[in-house]
Structure 1
């Protein structure tokens, strides 16, 4: 449910990744600014555009056709029909629909860009998008069909169509005709002004919204992987000195230092018994800060570029009412988001690979320093027929392999399209979708490893090698979160539903991680 006490006001502040995520997850509501300054800014742009057209001004996509058809002059009597045609002929998306969470993020992101006041739209249009958000009337937006320059034309056309009462909405979990929803609510569909179809569609708001959601998940994974590494090190009687702050002081990557500090705190003397006779553990334990730290350090510039895009006017043309000029350019190009998403999916996949290696050590009696093969909890003669986490380790390997396969940068696959008008495109939305898939796979890997480290530490406790009472409170909290979804594995049982529950807990950030 939406937290009524928490509201994101669009049009008077720079939005953050966290605010987009909060609205997407219905932890905050969204409202449109209603100050005199905001209203004047938006009205001024729409009024200038109207005057410009009255004086026979030529504007791409308003008095001309679209794309390579920009040389085609639209007769004056047809100018007002043109935006509706734009939304209609782009109604050709395919693939799965964006999730409700993703759709809310897209709506807020597009609203924020248009509220910048440089797109020449009326307040009525902004109010229409706000109404969709506030009523949770969600356009069904197919995920596939954008090349990421000329913006997210096809997916954003589904917002434009929803505003005029066409296509379908998801309302209270059911697919309904937009026209029927409006009629029942007594709401009059919007009639698009000449530039408004283009303003809605000609931007980067789908890829940017998905990037906001991806950022939140990736940031959490850096903290969760740190906690998992602590538990894996503990379970394998590792050498905590690998995370000594004095060691990391001489290699000053801030994110890497933060990861090492988190693990050191989890394992610091006085919080757990000093264990681990080995001088050096294997790389997947010893070098975990160096792997996780890459993503942790990259998050700074990733946030910068995502939030710059989020808080920009990114359609074409730009309407500058202060200077009274129409500026034709290419702000719909999603290159920055494409690069962030291509980079993020690479760094996240490396977390999957790290966790896959940690699990491979845990389940193998040749490398896990005395733990049972496959972490089986069965003793006596029945141990012969029980296999513990053997199949889960195979699944983790499969999910990791798929994640690694998807790390090829999407942005290098630009294709010339639309009669060679869009001859260099960003592929930003494909990169964002790829990144979300890599995150999903990595979260599944994390679920498998969470199950494994909980099993391993409990096995050590049952053998008397570790005393859970000496663990840090933070580690005990995480173990408690795991056990809320998956019990100790003694006799073999089906684990799919427990893995799904753990994966969802990871995605909802309900497993306590390093802070």
Structure 2
């Protein structure tokens, strides 16, 4: 996606946000800003004021007047209370693995700002301003991806956000890795001194898993759309039966997403000449049942959206401070079970789409099943056919990527571990599930890129062997667009650079597919 010259502003005031708004902020298409409404600022201040009064009156609040986790029975002396939030992010600085990407990190910051803007966390207006400052100036904390069990939320990765707000650890700013304090100073900000409970408010929540889930949801939606278009091209390539996608047929099985997938494929095939496949009434399942496979993802996506946006628009730290009724509510909203379930389901549905496309490619390259196409979709003609191998190796790579994607579908959410002296004795694994989903999507996008090469190759070769083949305008234009992006594979050549360009196009959502459908 290209950046807008004048990006829209997403205002944070506790109102419901959509996945698309988080994505726009993460990709630099929209700006994040705190709402200027006086009533919003007043609500934030009311929570902070109530907590201050409660502490003056010797109230007992978990994580403020007590230690953290299993240490909740340890009373904190009043003179040490101000240091406690800084100890929280300090001892959680034990992350490992890759660092979150800039896009992922912006999404994390936006998700945490959304939660704290609900006005139930007793944070100061200054803290919200500092979070918004990071987004405004694109100061991105270096956040290790690994180390969260998903309850008490994303403690370890979010400790890197808390530390950066206080001028500690490292950030990425203008393409340069530097100390957080330097980036804050160069953008006119000062390190924060966290108030009571603000360490918990920042860290004791689900912002990392929710951010990754937003990104995964959007990528999965586009994979489903591309899989429909690729399937239509592959039906043409193997001279398949377009009647498998008949509207009356799909009216008999009323899954809306499945019907939508069939309509997309049917629309792509509607204007073509009849295909020669008279000796076989029914195509193999990877073509005939494509709506039934892609349709599972299509039908699940609205449910996954509901779960992700429910989490996005929640106050999910502990305890919550209700400023109107002046109550301290100790609970477990940091538990990421809904995200874990959504991501385990999403990665399963996406991997099945990868498997579907892998099976379609197996038909295209095999002369036993491709209805007259050359072996391995090699486009070379004449004596040089003998030394050229077409897409033989590409099919092997697709099989490898698919197998790895399928291997990743083991649900993370069932692998709860008892941690932290059995205080966190049932945890969600939501962040691991979200990272798994992104890995499955990465592998599936590689499969899709290979299928773009293969589907374009198959259509061109079908037109060679069946001169009366006519494509509908939409499919014809799309194949023509692919021809501008990747050359026909005639003489053997390395395809890795073609694949990388196409993967970048997929992630940039370069094709407008099935608008409104």
What TM-score range do you get, normalising by the shorter chain?
over 0.9
Q: Report how far residue 374 of structure 1 moved.
A: 0.4
- Residue segments in structure 1 that go unaligned for 5+ positions in a row: none
Q: Which residue is 1:505 aligned to?
A: 505
Which deviations, in whole Å up to 9, do the C-alpha atoms of 1:147-188 show, x marking residues without a partner? 000000000011100100000010111101011112233321
Q: Report how far residue 473 of structure 1 moved.
A: 2.4
Q: How do residues 452-463 of structure 1 correspond to structure 2 at under 5 angstroms? A: 452-463=454-465
- Is the 2:14–2:119 Cα contact (8 Å) retained in structure 1? no
2:171 match: secondary structure: strand
Q: Report how far residue 472 of structure 1 moved.
A: 2.2
- Is the 2:14–2:115 Cα contact (8 Å) retained in structure 1? no
Which deviations, in whole Å up to 9, do the C-alpha atoms of 1:96-133 show, x marking residues without a partner? 00000000000000000000000000111111011100
Q: Which residue is 1:374 aligned to?
A: 376
2:145 match: secondary structure: strand
Which deviations, in whole Å up to 9, do the C-alpha atoms of 1:435-456 show, x marking residues without a partner? 0000000010011111001011
Quick check: 1:431 aligned with 2:433?
A: yes
- Residue segments in structure 2 that go unaligned for 5+ positions in a row: none
Structure 2: how far apart are the matches of 1:132 and 1:234? 50
Which deviations, in whole Å up to 9, do the C-alpha atoms of 1:3-27 show, x marking residues without a partner? 5341111115311001111111111
Structure 1: how far apart are the matches of 2:272 and 2:293? 24
Quick check: 1:165 aligned with 2:174?
A: no
2:485 match: secondary structure: coil
Q: Which residue is 2:320 aligned to?
A: 318
Structure 1 residue aligned with 2:45, among 43, 48, 58?
Answer: 43
Structure 1: how far apart are the matches of 2:484 and 2:124? 50
Q: Report how far residue 290 of structure 1 moved.
A: 0.4
Structure 1 residue aligned with 2:29, among 10, 18, 27?
Answer: 27
Which deviations, in whole Å up to 9, do the C-alpha atoms of 1:374-394 show, x marking residues without a partner? 000111111111011000000
Q: Report how far residue 274 of structure 1 moved.
A: 1.6
Structure 1 residue aligned with 2:177, among 167, 171, 175?
Answer: 175
Q: Which residue is 1:233 aligned to?
A: 235
Structure 1 residue aligned with 2:305, among 303, 306, 326?
Answer: 303
Q: How do residues 166-315 of structure 1 correspond to structure 2 at under 5 angstroms? A: 166-268=168-270, 271-275=271-275, 276-277=277-278, 278-315=280-317
1:95 match: secondary structure: strand
Q: Which residue is 1:385 aligned to?
A: 387
Structure 2: how far apart are the matches of 1:165 and 1:2? 31
Which deviations, in whole Å up to 9, do the C-alpha atoms of 1:173-210 show, x marking residues without a partner? 11010111122333211110011011000000100010
- Is the 2:14–2:313 Cα contact (8 Å) retained in structure 1? no
- Is the 2:92–2:159 Cα contact (8 Å) retained in structure 1? yes
Let me know the Cα RMSD of the aligned residues. Answer: 1.1
Structure 2: how far apart are the matches of 1:370 and 1:478? 23
Structure 1: how far apart are the matches of 2:100 and 2:480? 33
1:29 match: secondary structure: strand
1:413 match: secondary structure: coil
Q: Report how far residue 474 of structure 1 moved.
A: 1.9
Q: Report how far residue 466 of structure 1 moved.
A: 5.0
Q: Report how far residue 512 of structure 1 moved.
A: 4.0
Q: Using a 3 Å threshold, how does the CA distance of structure 1 residues 12 and 4 change in structure 2: closer, same or farther? A: farther
Which deviations, in whole Å up to 9, do the C-alpha atoms of 1:369-421 show, x marking residues without a partner? 00010000111111111011000000000000000000000011000011110
Q: Which residue is 1:15 aligned to?
A: 17
Structure 2: how far apart are the matches of 1:485 and 1:161? 44
Structure 1 residue aligned with 2:105, among 103, 106, 112?
Answer: 103
2:257 match: secondary structure: helix
2:28 match: secondary structure: coil
2:11 match: secondary structure: strand
Q: Which residue is 2:346 aligned to?
A: 344
Structure 1: how far apart are the matches of 2:467 and 2:405? 36
Structure 2: how far apart are the matches of 1:407 and 1:175? 34
Structure 2: how far apart are the matches of 1:185 and 1:18? 28
Quick check: 1:142 aligned with 2:144?
A: yes
Structure 2: how far apart are the matches of 1:206 and 1:186? 27
Quick check: 1:112 aligned with 2:114?
A: yes
Q: Report how far residue 279 of structure 1 moved.
A: 1.0
Q: Which residue is 2:356 aligned to?
A: 354
2:431 match: secondary structure: helix
1:314 match: secondary structure: coil
Structure 2: how far apart are the matches of 1:114 and 1:3? 29
2:433 match: secondary structure: helix
Structure 1: how far apart are the matches of 2:306 and 2:499? 34
Which deviations, in whole Å up to 9, do the C-alpha atoms of 1:25-77 show, x marking residues without a partner? 11111111110110111111111011111111111111111110011111000
Structure 2: how far apart are the matches of 1:93 and 1:481? 44
Q: Which residue is 2:491 aligned to?
A: 491
Structure 2 residue aligned with 1:330, among 329, 332, 348?
Answer: 332
Structure 2 residue aligned with 1:417, among 392, 395, 419?
Answer: 419
Structure 1: how far apart are the matches of 2:466 and 2:366? 20
TM-score by length of 2: 0.97
Larger mean Cα displacement after TM superposition, 12-21 or 392-401? 12-21
